[in-house]
Structure 1
Amino acid sequence: MSHGSKKALAVFAIAAVGSVALAACSGGGGGSSDGSVEISYLTQSDDANTAQAKALIAAFEEANPDITVKLETQPGGTEGDNLMKTKLSTDSMNDVFHYNTGSLLQALNPDQTLVDLSDQDWVADLTDDFKTVVSTDNGLYGAPWGTSFAGAVLYNKKVYESLGLEVPTTWDEFIANSEKIKSDGGGVAPILQSFGDTWTSQLFVLGDFANVSAVNPDWAEEYTANDPNAKYVEEPALAGFTHGAEVFEKGLLNEDFASMTNAQAMNALAEGTGAQYPMLSATISQVQQDNPDLVEDIGVFALPADDAADTSITMWQPNGIYIAKSAEGDKLEAAKKFVAFANSDDGCQVQNEGGSIAGPYVTSACTLPDDVPGLVNDIQAYFDSGKTGSALEFLSPIKGPNLENITVAVGSGITGAEDGAAQYDEDVKKQAQQLGLEGW
């Protein structure tokens, strides 16, 4: 997803709230005469991010009484992106800052603006997927903050149990399960769709990307370079469109798919009036809020590929914490301690107590608390077996603005799968050209 589309996933995404005046940032090298050092930490100005930042700083300062961390905030979204780029280009960036991973990080030109952290001890604890989205060929620049979450199929375990169904590992098995629910489920909708919130229509495409990468690990790179074989109108990427069309054609959707909202779909899933829902695991927060007693009735499995050997779960990576190159001397050493602390036992405890957990950590330094939703353990099983892959937005900056409208049309039977894929291949061209990507 583009940054804008990521904001559209409003159930779980951290939204920008208001504008906060920015204090002047010092990037100088030294500490004070008594040996103490002050550094600054920048995060987004919404309540959730600010609260977690304050908790992290308090815990860090208690463990490091000679270091003071000054918290500063700014809006998220495009406004925040532009502020980041301006401050980095003028060497006025905060010593440490919290920001996206993947393609949005690459837009900050990290080789020139950030400190390479690849020699830090905590790097050995990171997953390979996360290392990829905070690295260039020249260095690794970020430590994770928060947990990952999956784009997959949420399902009602009780419905599966009552019909004797097993978690599918191929697309054919998924369709067979869905048809069994349709015939024997007593009116339970086999597959929920919620086009009343158009962003939700994208999951058959976006949640399938780990399977695309399993078939062709270089697909994202080839796509970004405008390779004619790495298009959505070609397999393996076409599958996301054909699958969305197929479930409509076979009558496997809830009758009110055109008007149902994401919140309504999550409630239907929890209550068992819908059996399966291609969705983001982060939306479990809706069930925690509305149906807390039903949280454990919901599990998750990867959107199945045609071949079980390719079936992998698509992950949205957590944000990262970075150090600006303008941090020098004692400030740089203090900043490195702060970043390391975030992924220490004490830093992990801050994350466990203050974050919304909808997937595994991407560092072995952090252990999930015992009271996480059960679907998190389902996702962890894919991590343990090495069957994960990052969503495309973390590997390529290209995402056309009309995907959700195209997938609504395909998923409603208005547009054929191949026509929809061709429309999307055309849709991305303008953005790629605006980004100045070679080959477009």
Structure 2
Amino acid sequence: MRKTWLSVLAMVLIVSLVLMGCSQRSGGSSEPTSNAGSNASAGNDGTENADTGGDTAASGEKIRLTVYSTIGELKNQDMMKSIAADFTKENPNIQVEFQFPGAEYENILKVKMAANDLPDVFDTHGWAVIRYGNYLADLKDEPWAGNLTDTIKPVVTDKDGKVEALVLSEAKDGISYNAEILEQYGIQPPTTFEELMAAAEKIKTDSNGQITPFFMSGIDNGMIGGFLDLYATSMYISPASNQGDQLLDGSFDWKNWTPLAQKLLDMQKKGYINKDVLTAKYTDMPQRFAQGKVAFVYGAPSFADEVYKVNPKAKIGIMPLTTMVDGDTPTFSGGERYTMGAWKDGKHLEESKKLIAFFAKPENMSKIANATKLPPGLKDIPSQHEFSEYYEKFKDIRVFPYFDRVYLPNGMWDVMCKTGTALVAGQTSPEQFSDKMKQEYERLRKQ
């Protein structure tokens, strides 16, 4: 009996010691046990730590920041992660978790906005003020904010002076061109649309049709939509006498769209666009460009590395978009390409700002510029890549936001791409294109 009693007593003592140990460890683990919610750190008891900074760090737990980005190239994703790793070395209590959703990025962010549950830091991909402004913290007092370039500052600053995001890379879309072809045929980069068409005729004729002046894809119809979007700015927005106000207030006469649609159709009829435009894919273009079969591509040279895989000696140039109206000057379209904004309701807002400030360091901005081959959104950032000289040469060229993002209701981009493709397919006329734009513009403005 005594032996049994001693056994029971020993068991009680063991259980008591175990419970005491559990009580002492509660909340003291160095890692959270819950992944639910990217903007709060959870303790072992499953509760969320609402406070940021000192309290969480003092308990030994690591703060986890989620960052969503639109960067698609694997090498550039790795570059971003390497900068974040350097940040964590300096701030060992903060973990940075990147997400690169790709084509689903926009839809995912819309869902998160509806739930008011956004990532701590996210890429505004051209919509910093218009779409995300109400969800972003004001960064105007950050040390880097005063160094935003003159071309990008208005794009990410609202009417009250609120700075919505750090612009890692500026988008400056004009025309990419095969420099060897232009040299071969003695053509200087055109500045007017008439000069561009004259260059296209010379290239097509003198090469006996072996070189296609312009490459477009009806499969990836954003290339056709891109042409229309770029030149809509040149026709209706950038000239001194423009129709921007009418597009914004709904009084724009959509018959004015017909001449732009006609120019696209004329380019096809004259043989300036690849004959297989309806079946060609965007991925077909880099190889043709590398082989000297394509002279011009609308947009930025984001395809450059794919060209170099085929022809390491290829020479790619960039130039502003040509004018469409007499008396106007060339322009770029763009603004934000890659950015970092901070969710204003994030539980780790100060840490988010700290991370963004780290990416804004000159050495990190240079690393991003050299990797993406795009101009940085901050002044006096050195970069050395094959397009640096072009961005320096054209640094004073006006940059307008993408036409559809400012002057068309949400949903019109798809209309423009699909109807533009129908135009080159012979399924609709320029006049019918204008009617379709008017119809959809009025319908979507009411939603």
TM-score, normalising length from structure 1?
Answer: 0.77
1:385 match: 396
Q: Which secondary structure state, in structure 2, belongs to the residue aligned with residue 148 of structure 1?
A: strand
Q: Which secondary structure state, in structure 1, belongs to the residue aligned with residue 152 of structure 2?
A: helix
Shift, 1:142, TM fit:
0.8
Distance 1:133 1:399, change over 3 A: farther
- String of CA shifts for 1:141-199, please: whole Å, max 9, x gaps: 21113x23443332222221122111111111111111212222233223333324322
Q: 1:321 aligns with which of 323, 327, 340?
A: 340
Structure-1 separation of matches of 2:421 and 2:156: 32
Q: Is the 8 A contact 2:177 2:318 kept in 1?
A: yes
2:377 match: 362
Distance 1:392 1:239, change over 3 A: same
Structure with the bigger RCO (C-alpha within 8 Å, sep 6+) is: 1
User: Aligned AA for 1:381?
Assistant: K
Q: 2:140 aligns with which of 110, 118, 127?
A: 118
Q: 2:39 aligns with which of 12, 15, 25?
A: 25
Shift, 1:78, TM fit:
4.5
Q: 2:207 aligns with which of 181, 185, 188?
A: 185
User: Aligned AA for 2:85?
Assistant: A
- String of CA shifts for 1:345-368, please: whole Å, max 9, x gaps: 232245246x432x3222225322
1:100 match: 124
1:135 match: 157
User: Aligned AA for 2:378?
Assistant: T
Structure-1 separation of matches of 2:312 and 2:437: 38
User: Aligned AA for 1:291?
Assistant: N
Q: Is the 8 A contact 1:344 1:366 kept in 2?
A: no
Q: 1:419 aligns with which of 432, 435, 441?
A: 432
Distance 1:242 1:326, change over 3 A: same
- String of CA shifts for 1:104-157, please: whole Å, max 9, x gaps: 75333x34x332112223122223443333232231221113x23443332222
Q: Which secondary structure state, in structure 2, belongs to the residue aligned with residue 154 of structure 1?
A: strand
Q: Is the 8 A contact 1:150 1:282 kept in 2?
A: no
User: Aligned AA for 2:355?
Assistant: F
User: Aligned AA for 1:97?
Assistant: V
Q: Is the 8 A contact 2:128 2:156 kept in 1?
A: no
User: Aligned AA for 1:28?
Assistant: D
Task: Say if 2:355 is the partner of 1:338.
Answer: yes
Task: Say if 2:58 is the partner of 1:38.
Answer: no
Structure-1 separation of matches of 2:368 and 2:151: 20
Distance 1:344 1:385, change over 3 A: same
Q: Is the 8 A contact 2:332 2:397 kept in 1?
A: no
Shift, 1:333, TM fit:
3.8
Q: Is the 8 A contact 2:174 2:318 kept in 1?
A: no
Structure-1 separation of matches of 2:36 and 2:319: 42
Task: Say if 2:365 is the partner of 1:348.
Answer: yes
Task: Say if 2:231 is the partner of 1:208.
Answer: yes
With 309-318 and 64-73 compared, the bigger mean Cα shift is at 64-73
User: Aligned AA for 1:356?
Assistant: T
Task: Say if 2:249 is the partner of 1:225.
Answer: yes
User: Aligned AA for 1:408?
Assistant: T
Task: Say if 2:65 is the partner of 1:51.
Answer: no
Q: Which secondary structure state, in structure 1, belongs to the residue aligned with residue 189 of structure 2?
A: coil
2:173 match: 151
User: Aligned AA for 2:397?
Assistant: G
Distance 1:34 1:195, change over 3 A: closer
Structure-2 separation of matches of 1:377 and 1:356: 15
Q: Which secondary structure state, in structure 1, belongs to the residue aligned with residue 238 of structure 2?
A: helix
1:433 match: 446
Distance 1:322 1:28, change over 3 A: farther
Q: Which secondary structure state, in structure 1, belongs to the residue aligned with residue 65 of structure 2?
A: strand
Structure-2 separation of matches of 1:258 and 1:79: 27
Q: Which secondary structure state, in structure 2, belongs to the residue aligned with residue 348 of structure 1?
A: helix
Task: Say if 2:174 is the partner of 1:161.
Answer: no
Q: 2:418 aligns with which of 385, 405, 417?
A: 405
Shift, 1:312, TM fit:
0.8
Shift, 1:407, TM fit:
1.0
Q: Which secondary structure state, in structure 2, belongs to the residue aligned with residue 315 of structure 1?
A: strand
Q: Is the 8 A contact 2:288 2:294 kept in 1?
A: yes
User: Aligned AA for 1:319?
Assistant: Y
2:20 match: none
With 135-144 and 169-178 compared, the bigger mean Cα shift is at 135-144
Q: Which secondary structure state, in structure 1, belongs to the residue aligned with residue 273 of structure 2?
A: coil
Work out which of the two has the higher radius of gyration on C-alpha atoms and give 1 or 2: 2
1:272 match: 292
Q: Which secondary structure state, in structure 2, belongs to the residue aligned with residue 214 of structure 1?
A: coil
Distance 1:278 1:326, change over 3 A: closer
Distance 1:185 1:304, change over 3 A: farther
Structure-2 separation of matches of 1:286 and 1:121: 37
Structure-2 separation of matches of 1:288 and 1:123: 36
Task: Say if 2:232 is the partner of 1:243.
Answer: no
Distance 1:415 1:79, change over 3 A: closer
Q: How many residues in Structure 1 have an aligned counterpart in Structure 2?
A: 393
Root-mean-square deviation (CA), in Å? 3.3
TM-score, normalising length from structure 2?
Answer: 0.76
Structure-1 separation of matches of 2:444 and 2:36: 31
- String of CA shifts for 1:21-41, please: whole Å, max 9, x gaps: 753522534413759983623
User: Aligned AA for 2:78?
Assistant: A
Distance 1:74 1:408, change over 3 A: closer
1:262 match: 282
